Each structure stands twice: as C-alpha cells, then as structure tokens.
Amino acid sequence: MTVYRAMKVFRTLAELAAENRPVYLAIGVFDGVHLGHQRVITQARDAARQAGGLSVALTFDPHPIRILRPDQAPVLLTSTAHKLALIAQLDIDACVLINFDNAFATTTAEQFIEQIAFCRHICVGTRFHFGHNRAGNPALLEQLAPRYGFTVNEIKPVLTPDGEMISSTTVRQHILAGNLDRAAVMLGRPFSILGTVVKGDGIGRQLGYPTANLDTHHEAFPPDGVYLTRVSVAGETVTGVINLGRRPTFAGRSHARVLEVHLIDFNRDIYGQELEVIFVQKLRGEQKFADVTALKLQIAADIATARKLAPA
C-alpha cells in the first residue's frame, strides 16, 4: 500500500478487505475524471461519510482496451499518475489500482463480483461493463446483490447544461479539436496535462527564454500552437506560455512533437519534477519564422500577452 497525498492506494482487493471497515466502492476506468466520473466517485464518498465507512474508488492500469483491443486503444486523457491525483482531489479515502493484464481479463463477471462482495455498497455508471467479454453490467450487480448483501447505486449519464452527454470519448474529441472551453465544461475544470521535466536541446535557453520540456504521461493534446498556461510547480502556481508542436523554424532538427513551457518570472532547477500544466487559452497557432530574430520578437510578444491575460 502507498499513500497518494491523503488517499491510500491499494494494489489488490485483498489489501482493501484487510482494512476491516465497511467499504463504499465506486468502480470505473475514470479516464479524464470528468463530471460523470466525479458523480460516481462522490456518491460513494458521501454514502461512506454518512455511514462511517471507507470511501474507495476502484480503477485499472493500464486502460483495459489497451490489453483487450490494442489496435483500437484511444489516446488517454489522463495517465495513471494524473488520474490518481484527480481522484485524490475528490477527498476520497482510498483507491484500488487493479493491474489489468491478460490474466485479469479472463475473470468472469461473476468472479469479479465475488471478489468485491465484501463491500457494503457499490456505485457504477450506467454504461460500465466488466468481466470477460464485458458480460457484467449494473443489472447483474443488482441481480446478485441480495446474495452477497451489498447495495448498488447505478448513476445515470451526466449531461452538460445544453444536453450533451458527458463521456471520455466526447471530452477527447473536444480536446483534439481544440474546443478547450467545451472540454472544460465536461471536466468541471480546465484541461490539464501532467508531465515530468526532462532535458531538452536548450533552444529556449539559447533564445533567452528557457523552457521546461515535458515528458508527458498521456497522449491527448489540443492542436499545435502557443497557449497561455497556469503551471503547478514546487508547491506554487506560475503563469507560463506553452509551445506545442514541431518547431518548424529550426530546419534540420528533429520534427518530433514536443511540449515545452516557459515559466514567467521563475528561475529554479526543476529537472525531474512533475508539473501539472493547465491550458488557459490559445494565443496563436504554431508558425515558421524567417529567422531566429523574428522568433525571439514573437516570443517576447507572446509573454507580454500572457502577462496581460493571466488570471489574477
């Protein structure tokens, strides 16, 4: 068992059962931890508080589709580390992180229910399926609940104020299309990415605007461009400017897509640290400049714009 902020993280259901407390369990993949996921998790949390039990989220690593149908696996909205951080922010007591591998994929729906039968209350979304060949669903949980003595709460899909159903798929589509305001409505917060600061090629520093290059832990990015951002780093929140793209001004260099962020008025060594980069708004698209001087002028203008637009 490990502790993630105030939330315990168990790797097996046996560890959770050994806590010997009434468990109120929310189950789901929870990619993105959007408002629909939040409703499932907070329902279990609130029920546990009312009864003096333990509120727990159960999720999977990696995403089940990456094992079951790897050729159809979606780009993720959140890495496992980011997902755990977002779940912890919901003030839940614990999370069970199940290793989803080929062996676990053979578990039948009934076998899985037997494994969680020690729980007092189980909360799932209407569209949640589980067990071999996705044979399990909320109806099966309801059917077997009397046998094992737990109760079930099936959470209906959550809609946006204008009636669009919130799902990881729709959030992903909005992010990839650059509809960040729409994605934020569904997430209940601005879209963000979690990444580890790694050594880059030093171009930003050579230009006079050092950047933190991020090894991002998940894959869903908005379109290439320059973005105003707020960055959580070393216990504080800093305004920054993101460049997301392939840096076309520098011909002959690698054209791999990179995410780098310049932290305004921040000058500390943060290599190896995790940053949560919150996308506030897009400033402009990525451009190829005639020369380095033109690029430096534009970067200065981008930073000036970011200062003006930065939230107080």
Q: What is the CA radius of gyration of the chain?
A: 22
Residue that has been written with the tokens 């290439």 in this structure: 224
Model confidence pLDDT, tens digit, residues 238-284: 999 999 988 766 665 556 788 899 999 988 888 899 899 999 999 99
Model confidence pLDDT, tens digit, residues 166-199: 999 999 999 999 999 999 999 999 999 998 998 7
The CA distance from 53 to 50, in Å, is 8
Q: Of residues 249 and 53, which shows the higher confidence score?
A: 53
The CA distance from 261 to 284, in Å, is 15
Model confidence pLDDT, tens digit, residues 108-142: 999 999 999 999 999 999 999 999 999 999 999 99
The full set of domains in the chain, from first to last, is 2-155 (3.40.50.620), 191-309 (2.40.30.30)
Q: What is the pTM of this model?
A: 0.91
- Give the pLDDT confidence score for residue 208 in this predicted structure: 63
Question: pLDDT-derived band of residue 44, with 50, 70 and 90 as boundaries?
Answer: very high
